[in-house]
Amino acid sequence: MKKILALCLIACLTLCLAVPAFAADASNKVGVVEGKRIWLSTFDGTDTWVLGGSDSEIEITEDNLDTVNKKNGAALSYTASGYSIVLASNLNLDLSDYVAEGVVKMDIYIEDASKLMPSVGARTAQWIGFSSNESGDTDDLKAVWVLMENMNLKTGWNEISCPISEAMAQGGTDWSKITFMRVVVGVNAEMTIKLDNLRIELPGADPIPEDAAPATTPAAPATTPAETAPATAPATTPATTPAETTPTTGGISLIAVAGLGLVAASLASKKRK
């Protein structure tokens, strides 16, 4: 019986530890349409996206998913260095209905805004790109870059909004078949970047609920007992208990002594007789 209980306990602990891993590996919702919004990525999973740079590409793992400092679900977290690029390939998105009024939006966390690389001439330091060619190479000019210019990115979380109609076109991109996209953040020094909720919205899209509020709610009950219980309970209980019990126990002791005295007197009287 003890062995069975021990095995059950081990199984329960294993399941509890496994739940966060499954939750972090949720779908990225790439291409999912919800009302007046089409998701480009929720960054809640490791599929579709890779980290790229000038020399190599690195597969995103669960270590890159931040379920604490995020806006919704999980955020992609990585160390940016130089022209840091997040890539998505093998896409098949039809964005033609979003070109006229659609706005590319994304939540981006900047650890230190002073480390952001400024744009120099025609070279843009921060941008989001879409392409309708297979490789995403811009040499054939089949790309449209949605710029993050004049967004005044600050330290902490920022929500960027880039109207597609104001994008800088580099050729005849076919918006009905977007096959490749990238997010580029240029920095002068290493720092942490987090991305969340990359999407295109039409006017009137419902707001995206944030997960941050429930994380702060348990703090109130935790502080209330700490402030009230120790201040009132210890102050009243010890003060009243001695006042009520000490006289009572003292009274019982006197009665007991008096009774013993009467018994002794009675025995002495009998002996005289």
- Closest by Cα among 165, 160, 36 to 101: 165
pLDDT band of 131, cuts 50, 70, 90:
confident
Contacts with 156 (C-beta within 8 Å, 6 or more apart), sequence order: 109, 110
Please give the Cα distance from 116 to 80 (Å, whole number): 10
Residues, the chain: 273
Of all residues in the chain, what percent carry a pLDDT higher than 70?
Answer: 59
- Out of 38-52, 122-136, 137-151, the most confident range is 38-52
Instruction: Return the higher-pLDDT residue of 8 and 188.
Output: 188
- In the chain, the N- to C-terminal Cα span, in Å, equals 73
Query: Is the pTM above the cut of 0.75?
Result: no
Confidence of residue 137 (pLDDT cuts 50, 70, 90): low
Domains of the chain: 24-219 (2.60.120.430)
